[in-house]
Amino acid sequence: MQVIRLMLATFLFVLLSPAGAQVQTVQGKATLSYQGPASTPADRILALQKAQVNAFDYYYAEAGDSESQNYASVKDQIFRDIDRYVLDTTVLSESDDVVGRKYTVVVKLALNVPNLRALMKQNSTVGSATRDQKSRLAFLFVSRSVDSVKTYDARVYKRADASAQVRATETQAGAQSDDNPGSVNSAVAAGGTGIASVEQSTATSETGGSAVRKSKETTWRIAPSADLNQIFTQVFSKAGFRVQEAALVQSAAGGKFKLEAVEEDYKSGNDLKAATLQTIVDGMRVASVPLLALGTLDLGLVDTDPQTGLYRVVVTVNARLLDLNEAIPETVASVGPTQYSGKGPTEDEARTNALKSAANSAARELASQLTSQGIH
């Protein structure tokens, strides 16, 4: 074993499957420097293992901060039982540079994503907590589309100032008595005396003004949220939380808040009014729900996907998760604004696909951030 150091590594990239697929492939590369005339089998095994680690590192680095933190906490467990999490390892290329004494290997791994997710969940605080120890989580998400947009013409103010100035000066040449000043513009008289005068005039004009533009006013139409509820419930439940829909919490909140007020706020703006938010917080506390996820999914206009000719809709997600245990509620996780698109043969299908994709991704990210912070 003449391994002295593991050298650099890694250009890696995730291949194949889209998000949510059960098997994903990822490539990893490692270069190992060795002593001795050629690499030994042990060197090659070490390089292969390092390439596998690099592939995992890259996969989770691509998945975002919170996923990466969760991965860091279970990394050792993964590599203690790697066959459980890697379905297949394929060596794509290997080369042994005997002059430079470097052995390089590139591998492609097929990751068992369900097993990896299960491991993350087991090791999260919420995963190891008993049902009684788990906090209840309510979510309040609104999907909405633009109902009307009022735009204003620019208010234009224009001003023009003009001024004129005339100045005359006289000079005297030769002898001339003071009581005979002569006339303006007279020529010098024969004999060498006379008066010369110069008249100067200046005209100045200034124009200017200002234009005031007022930003557009947008009102929103609230869309049905049954699909969203289903997705949020599914994702948070799988992550180990006790999930409750806000509509059901409302009745246990002693009339502290009304969902209609929330929808009303979101019809005209991007944020809840302070008073509305406070009523929700009060209501959740009455109902003993310490975690509240809330946000909006804004549907854009429908256009045509240039590649497929299908309808396409873009959804913009803004979401945050409040911890209500503190006297002043604390935002412990947030997502967005992030955009997702959905396509379909009809406008409705495109909308539904976009909302599903956005809700799924937002819920996953929020749940992952909670897990990485040990909140349960």
For residue 357, give the H/E element and its range: helix 347-372
Q: Which residues, in sequence order, are CB contacts of 93 under 8 Å at separation 6+?
A: 104, 105, 106
In the complex with other proteins, the residue whose CB is nearer, 112 or 135, is 112
Write the interaction track for other proteins spanning residues 73-112; mark x where CB under 8 A is met and - where it is not: --------------xx-x-xx-x--------xxx-x-x--
Nearest-CA neighbor of 351 among 300, 304, 306? 300
Cα(125)–Cα(134) distance, rounded to whole angstroms?
9
Distance CA 137, CA 267 (A): 25
Q: Cα(290)–Cα(200) distance, rounded to whole angstroms? A: 84
Least Å from the CB of residue 31 to other proteins: 9
Q: Is 189 helix (H, G, I), strand (E, B) or coil?
A: coil
CB-nearer residue toward other proteins: 22 or 148: 22
Determine if 308 is a binding residue for other proteins (CB under 8 A). Answer: yes
**Please, which residue, 105 or 322, has the CB nearer to other proteins?**
105
Q: Retrieve residue 160's tokens.
A: 């023009």
Least distance from C-beta 373 to other proteins, angstroms?
Answer: 31
Short-list 238, 233, 262, 332, CA closest to 290: 332
Element at 326 (helix H, strand E): none
Question: Nearer to other proteins by C-beta: 345 or 374?
Answer: 345
Stretch that binds other proteins, among 61-69, 70-78, 268-276, 301-309 (CB under 8 A): 301-309
Q: Is the peptide bond before 337 cis (omega within 30 degrees of 0)?
A: yes
CB of residue 28 vs other proteins: minimum separation in angstroms? 9
Task: Output 258 or 343, the one with its CB closest to other proteins.
Answer: 343
SS3 content of the chain, % helix, strand, coil (to 5): 35, 40, 30
Nearer to other proteins by Cβ, of 23 and 198: the residue is: 23
**CB nearer other proteins, residue 97 or residue 217:** 97
Could you give the 3-state DSSP secondary structure of residue 125?
A: helix
Instruction: Give the one residue of 7, 61, 63, 310 binding other proteins; rule: CB under 8 A.
Output: 310
Calculate the CA 239 to chain-centre distance. Answer: 22
131-147 b/e (C-beta count within 10 Å ≥ 16 → b)? eeebbbbbbbbbbbbee
Looking only at residues 128 through 187 of this chain, which bind other proteins when binding is defined by CB under 8 A?
Answer: none
Q: How far is the CB of 233 from other proteins (least distance, A)?
A: 22
Q: How far is the CB of 26 from other proteins (least distance, A)?
A: 11
Q: Which is nearer to other proteins, 19 or 45 (CB)?
A: 19
Residue 91: Cβ within 10 Å count: 12
345, 347, 348, 374: which one contacts other proteins (CB under 8 A)? 345
Quote the Cα angle for 51-122-23, to 5°.
45
Pairing of strands 136-150, 242-245: parallel
Window 234-293: residues binding other proteins (CB under 8 A): none
Helix extents (H) in the chain: 41-63, 65-80, 82-85, 113-123, 125-128, 226-238, 246-252, 259-268, 274-286, 347-372
With CB under 8 A, what is the number of residues at the site for other proteins? 31
What is the rounded CA–CA span in Å between residue 251 and residue 239? 26
Smallest separation (angstroms) from other proteins to the CB of 52:
14
1-30 binders of other proteins (CB under 8 A) = 11-13, 15-18, 21-23, 25, 27, 29
Closest approach, Cβ 225 to other proteins, in A, equals 27
Work out how close the CB of 82 gets to other proteins at its nearest, in angstroms, rounded to a whole number.
Answer: 15
What tokens appear for 206 in the block?
């200034």
CB of 288 to other proteins, least distance (A): 40
**Residue 105 vs 292, nearer CB to other proteins:** 105
Binding site for other proteins (CB under 8 A): 11-13, 15-18, 21-23, 25, 27, 29, 87-88, 90, 92-93, 95, 104-106, 108, 110, 306-310, 343, 345
